[in-house]
Amino acid sequence: MTTDGEREGTGDDPFVLVVGAGPTGLLLAAELARRAVPYRLIDANPGPLHWDRATVVHPRSLEVFESLGLAERFLAAGTPQRGARLHSGGELLGAFELSSSGSSYPFNVGVSEEVTESILVEYLRTLGGGVTRGTRLVGLTPAPDHVAVEVEHEGGRSRFDAEWVVGCDGIHSPTRAACGIEMVGHDIDAPWAVFDATLDGWTDVYDLTLVYLEAVPVILTALPDRRWRVYLRPSAPDSDLVADATTTLHRYAPGMSFAAVENPTRFHCHSKVATSYRSGRVLLAGDAAHLCSPAQGHGMNTGIQDAENLAWKLALVHQGAAAPELLDSYEAERRPAAALVADSGDEFEHAQTLIDPAERAARDEALRTTLADPDARHHEIVAEAELNIDYSASPIVSGPSDPHLGPGARLPDTIRVRVDGEDGRLHALARHTGHTVLLLTGPGADAGISRPVLEQARELVTASPRFDSVVAPAPDTLDPPSLAALGVDGLTLLAVRPDGHVGLRADRDHVDALRRYDDLLRTGHR
């Protein structure tokens, strides 16, 4: 059934059918493939996209790609965007840079979505898989232990069974429609438009995202080869998009002009989240599950994190190492994240489209205040980098809350550590396809219990299919500031999930806590 020379996923009746080969579906297939989970990835389009308007890859997504060994490919294919500047009324309101975000990738990467997809497709090829193109989902019939699937290809229809189906098939998701799942939220009334161009006569910076909150709002995002993707709100349904954007930018750069304009496109957006992410053995991810304003560039990136979150859970279910109830945690963790992104987008949509002069003045003053205040600015930086996602309310995390690094928090990836004579990042030690146990020793640790805990933890991990390894850096390999940042004084055991979030924190009764957490993963509920 392939039309572009790519191969199908393994098996005639796959464990997982992934519907939709955008970034979410491609990453989900890649994460399944590297865990040896049989999948089939189908897409209704006859071939890969030649252009798509999504642009920004955020630091958190770069961390995801790093776990697949792909971060360097994205860095080579894109261009860094180290922060943003916001303007209004011909003046600079303020700026921020991502260097203080807490990620080892202190920038966004500007790269068009079709490039992102091509990198993921090539990665799938290296794993022996690919995309079945020109194949449309036309029917789903649920059963207790599988889903009967009907697809259409070149006018013919075929049927097969899948144990699980994941709809990554976008705004008009046939998967979601087949399940009768509703989207709640609203349409964004004011239209958007976009085009790619070079800015002749441009003397300002190139490696920042530039936001202009004028009568015709314009957002410039950098692309490779000193190109820009220009997002704007058109002045009228039939207006000249280039003229609209030029009017705004001439207030700041009178000598500039657009050249080599490509892909002018108008589009409408929505701010909606699915009422449920699961119906029996069918799940939703990416745009099939949530839609948001493009103003902050979080839509594609939120889908990438959906895929990362879901894949390791599906793999445990496939292996028989976890009950299907584990998949309930997917919605519990990812739906609040999507709602957070949608709400943030709504706030910026409102701010962007204000017309009343007094309201615009109040908005500008609020933005100046936010960007001038270190704490408020840092909050915005962390949100921009997508490092503000926390799973502390998840049903599958365990342990006492901690102001430094509690259960559900993302393990920091900038903390350096030395293990077996090699310098590296603590975060990288825990990026495996399964869980990793980190045993961290602070200055107040009882030396008499450290070795027995380590030995018992290794014994438990060796016997459990839910864990990969135990890593215990020597006590002197984490400096005092790093230990303080992690809240480690005595002996702390962390069970780090494959997505880099802490599933368990135990500062006492370490092995019993680890045993209970292992059982929590196995059953999928408390």
Domains annotated for the chain, with CATH where assigned, are: 16-55+112-182+275-353 (3.50.50.60), 186-270 (3.30.9.10), 416-523 (3.40.30.10)
User: How many CA atoms does the CB half-sphere of 306 hold within 13 Å?
Assistant: 32
- CA separation for the pair 446, 477 (Å, rounded): 17
Which pLDDT belongs to residue 474? 81
- CA separation for the pair 203, 174 (Å, rounded): 47
Q: For 247-331, list the strands marked E by DSSP.
A: 257-274, 278-279, 282-284, 290-291
- CA separation for the pair 29, 13 (Å, rounded): 15
Per-residue confidence at 206, pLDDT binned at 50, 70, 90?
very high
Q: Which two tokens stand for residue 364?
A: 């500008």
Read off the pLDDT of residues 127-163 as tens digits, 9 standing for 90 and up: 999 999 999 999 999 999 999 999 999 889 999 999 9
Q: Confirm if 167 and 284 have CB atoms less than 8 A apart.
A: yes
Q: Which residues contact 343 (CB under 8 A, 6 or more apart)?
A: none
Per-residue confidence at 1, pLDDT binned at 50, 70, 90?
very low
Per-residue confidence at 53, pLDDT binned at 50, 70, 90?
confident
Q: Is the pLDDT of residue 418 over 90?
A: no
- CA separation for the pair 30, 44 (Å, rounded): 19
Q: Which two tokens stand for residue 392?
A: 């502390």
Per-residue confidence at 8, pLDDT binned at 50, 70, 90?
very low
Mean pLDDT of 340-356: 93
Per-residue confidence at 297, pLDDT binned at 50, 70, 90?
confident
Read off the pLDDT of residues 470-493 as tens digits, 9 standing for 90 and up: 998 888 788 888 999 999 999 999
Q: Is the pLDDT of residue 433 over 50?
A: yes
- Give SS3 for 160: strand
388: left (phi over 0), alpha (psi -120 to 50) or beta: alpha
Which pLDDT belongs to residue 9? 40
Per-residue confidence at 110, pLDDT binned at 50, 70, 90?
very high
Q: Is the pLDDT of residue 23 over 90?
A: yes
Q: For residue 181, with 0-12 CB atoms within 10 Å meaning exposed, 13-18 middle and 19 or more buried, which class applies? A: buried
Per-residue confidence at 414, pLDDT binned at 50, 70, 90?
confident
Give kind and range of the element (H or E) at residue 449.
helix 447-463
Give the closest residue to 486 by CA, choosing from 402, 418, 430.
402
Could you give the percent of the chain with pLDDT greater than 70? 97
Mean pLDDT of 375-398: 96
Which pLDDT belongs to residue 475? 81
Give the closest residue to 164 by CA, choosing from 311, 35, 290.
311
Residue 321 identity (one-letter amino acid):
A
Q: Confirm if 387 and 59 have CB atoms less than 8 A apart.
A: yes
Alpha helices in 34-133 (DSSP H): 59-67, 71-77, 113-126
Distances (CA, A) of 483 to 223, 280, 408: 39, 43, 19
